[in-house]
Amino acid sequence: MPKIVVLRWGHRPQRDARLTTHVVLTARALGASGVILTDVKDEKIKETVEKVVNNWGGRFFFEMGIPWEKAVRKWRENGGVVVHLTAYGENIETSDVLERIKASGKDVLVIVGSQKVPREFFSEKVSDFNVAIGNQPHSECSSLAVFLDRYFNGKELTKTFENAKIRIIPQKRGKKVVSSDSEF
């Protein structure tokens, strides 16, 4: 199956740290291979991501400080497609946009912004697909979650993360968490 990488654009460290962290955690938990935080570096987010991957397992990368134009150009040169999540795009429910993305068979770079994106993000120069999760304003984190869930058909919800030091044991009531010190 093709891999999905999330490109986080427009991160403002003083304002967006919590939501960008949630975008990264959502990407990881719901099947993305990694996140590229473009144009800026935020060491706190990097530390959080490294701690989560170390404790909760799985393969996941986090890169930062790469200019968005370079990231998109490199992605396309390597044969991938670019999906821009926007309220103005083709509705994921009422169009066949998701089927066309999947039919490409290519790795997918998903752009999620934290502020108003440049107009050129909507152009063919940047995005192969402009996808809307509904056509109303809402959080980029929720858009990413719905997109990934639809893309993976819910299969990501049962994924096992290798080398996990901490694991949640699902149960009807209460909380059960085991660590690598105890048996999985």
Domains of the chain listed by start with CATH number: 4-158 (3.40.1280.10)
Q: What is the pLDDT of residue 155?
A: 95
Each residue of 111-124: pLDDT tens digit? 999 888 999 999 99
Under the banding of pLDDT at 50, 70 and 90, the label for residue 177 is: very high
Are 72 and 84 spatial neighbours (Cβ–Cβ below 8 Å)? no
Question: Cα(3)–Cα(156) distance, rounded to whole angstroms?
Answer: 12
For every residue of 40-102, which 3-state class applies, written as one string?
A: CCCHHHHHHHHHHHHHHCCCCEEEEEECHHHHHHHHHHCCCEEEEEEEEEEECCCCCHHHHHH
- What's the whole-model pTM score? 0.94
Each residue of 98-109: pLDDT tens digit? 999 999 999 999
What angle do the packed helices 97-104 and 140-151 form, to 10 degrees? 60
Q: What is the pLDDT of residue 17?
A: 87
Q: What is the pLDDT of residue 6?
A: 98
Q: What is the pLDDT of residue 115?
A: 85
What mean pLDDT comes out for the span 128-137? 94
**Torsion-angle region of 124 (φ positive above 0: left; ψ -120 to 50: alpha; else: beta):** alpha
